Structure 1
Amino acid sequence: MSATVSAEMITRGAEATLEVLKQGEGPLVVMLPSLGRPATDFDPIARIVAERGYTVLRPQPRGIGRSRSSAPYKDLHDCAADIATVIEAFGGGPAFVAGHAFGNRVTRMLATDRPDLISGISIIAANVGIAPSGPKMRAAIRASANADLPDDERLEALRFAFFAPGNDPTGWLKDWYPEVLAAQRHAGDQTPRSEDYAGGTGPLLYLQPDTDPLAHVEDAEIFKRELGDRVTVVVIPHASHAALPEQPDFIAAQLLSFMERSHPARAA
């Protein structure tokens, strides 16, 4: 299967025009990035999954790439509606959706609002607690994204919030969009966490970094106890909240293994 990436534009009424990175052929897999980050964070994972017989769609959040909107996101339901429009534009699914960090909340909201479009979901580095992240963590995230700060200060923030000890954070000095981060944060804060908590009722793969200061291993275990056998928890070794650049091969392998059961690739 070809892993060549094309960019396609999808319009959601008057609300938004969305740039969608597309590669591969087969059942739909949608990947949603973290707070203030672009869809290209999934580059190595998307390539591996596409080469295994899937169509991988990566919508750029509003304000990144060529994705535009006349207004900011109102709430998480609005974020999820953008992704529903993308899935509908590519045949209506059902799609398997993987969301990283903030993208995990959009994923869970989409699975709650539009279960008809979803075969299953994966949440990666997911802060599933009812309480939002604390002020020190939010300050570190803002500092990570602030290109006006010295690199040393930003690297310290990245190590604190996003990268496991010994993992190199320098790649994440780029590709931050502070205005998008603020808009997504506002959307999340406008939505009670109880509304997206369960992530629908279908199969759910919870990929939990082993040293994540925002999303803890014990939180993943509690989540599974509460929701039962529909949840599969896998711990990502030597990874923190960034996860994707730290362990892309491991994450891709876990997604593919899980989808073999609930969302198999098209036979060659």
Structure 2
Amino acid sequence: MKYFTVALFGAGILLAFGYLHLSPFTNTAARDADGTAKTISRGGCTIEYYVQGTGSRVMLLASAGRAVSDFNQHASALVDAGYKTVAVEAPGIGRSDLPEGDHHLYDLGSDARAVIDADGGEPTSFFIGHAFGNRVARATSLRYEKISRGVILLAAGGYKPVPKKAEIALKNLFNPGRFGRLRLADLKYAFFADGNEPPDDWRRGWHIDTALLQGAASGLTPDKEWRSGGTAPMLVVQPAADAIAPKEDAADPLKANYPDRVTVALAENAGHALLPEQPDLVAGSVIAFLTAYSSE
């Protein structure tokens, strides 16, 4: 949406730096994604995705400028619980092409739908979105309402502007000239609760071109109906210490606007990163939700 676009707009000037692609922190892989790697083509662009397990399909959509490898531990927990995970790499990451021209959230949702079709079998799916991925998850669930069994939002935002200090820290993470203690301080402030040390794979893997496309996609989306996620049941896992999407700007309005179908799980001692901070709590909350709605 426009607030996310504003949060990343300043990062666009970084494209002028000749060392943009030389930084060890930006535009490099955080780590390898788990699962069987596959590709499809849609609209002349390659989309890469990773498949693991069998059972009801759970689509995984990562944070802004981040790879689906952020889901590795979570995907493993879902597979162990009897679910199939399909993690869709965002445009510009891995073998997923960065398309030309303007894109909006529904275009990114159509990428996810194309992967579902290629995966075969029953098309109905659950959608999990982390941070920016929650926007894509909701847009996909709305546009393809008949196949959505449920939407799970991890560290969701979308209602209010990113608080200024967190916005600056977020932009700095996509700055290839930001190093050392300053960069680590930005990462900790924007994504991690006090006392939680960022793992190595979160200190790298920030894809600026992808983030710019994603930020623009939110602003270009012609309506805000995507916020509803359609009519499917919704689980919101809200980090208690989320500097980018505080509870009053995220879980609270979602619960207020859709009280009959939104469940909120509060993750103490967790920030916007969430997945590496509270893996067991997230897995337990998600699996309980999936179990409740898999039989419907």
Per the normalisation by structure 2, the TM-score is 0.83
Q: Judge conservation of contact 1:120–1:263 (CA < 8 Å) in 2.
A: no
Alignment partners' CA distance in 2, 1:245 and 1:145? 20
Q: Judge conservation of contact 1:127–1:215 (CA < 8 Å) in 2.
A: yes
Alignment of 1:42-81 (within 5 A): 42-71=71-100, 74-81=103-110
Letter in 2 for 1:6: T
Deviations 1:195-244 (A, max 9, x none): 31111111100100001122222341232122112100000111011111
Residue 237 of structure 2 corresponds to which residue in structure 1?
Answer: 207
**SS at structure 1 position matched to 2:94:** coil
Alignment partners' CA distance in 2, 1:224 and 1:120? 15
Letter in 2 for 1:104: N
Residue 149 of structure 2 corresponds to which residue in structure 1?
Answer: 119
Give % identity: 36
Q: Judge conservation of contact 2:150–2:232 (CA < 8 Å) in 1.
A: yes
Alignment partners' CA distance in 2, 1:17 and 1:263? 31
Letter in 2 for 1:45: H
Residue 62 of structure 2 corresponds to which residue in structure 1?
Answer: 33
CA distance 1:7–1:188, shift in 2 (3 Å):
same
Q: Cα RMSD between the aligned structures?
A: 1.8
CA distance 1:48–1:36, shift in 2 (3 Å):
same
Alignment partners' CA distance in 1, 2:164 and 2:113? 32
Aligned-residue offset at 1:137:
3.0
Do residues 12 (structure 1) and 38 (structure 2) align? no
CA distance 1:240–1:174, shift in 2 (3 Å):
same
Alignment partners' CA distance in 1, 2:199 and 2:224? 35
Deviations 1:138-160 (A, max 9, x none): 32112123332112111111122
Do residues 230 (structure 1) and 280 (structure 2) align? no
CA distance 1:236–1:264, shift in 2 (3 Å):
farther
Residue 245 of structure 1 corresponds to which residue in structure 2?
Answer: 276
Residue 255 of structure 1 corresponds to which residue in structure 2?
Answer: 286
CA distance 1:72–1:100, shift in 2 (3 Å):
farther
Q: How many residues are paired up?
A: 260
Residue 221 of structure 2 corresponds to which residue in structure 1?
Answer: 191
Letter in 2 for 1:25: T
Aligned-residue offset at 1:117:
2.0
- Gapped runs of 5+ residues in structure 1? none
Alignment partners' CA distance in 1, 2:178 and 2:244? 23
Q: Judge conservation of contact 1:146–1:154 (CA < 8 Å) in 2.
A: no
**SS at structure 2 position matched to 1:123:** strand
Per the normalisation by structure 1, the TM-score is 0.91
Alignment partners' CA distance in 2, 1:192 and 1:37? 25
Q: Judge conservation of contact 1:9–1:18 (CA < 8 Å) in 2.
A: yes
Q: Judge conservation of contact 2:62–2:133 (CA < 8 Å) in 1.
A: yes
**SS at structure 1 position matched to 2:193:** coil
Residue 7 of structure 2 corresponds to which residue in structure 1?
Answer: none
CA distance 1:133–1:191, shift in 2 (3 Å):
farther
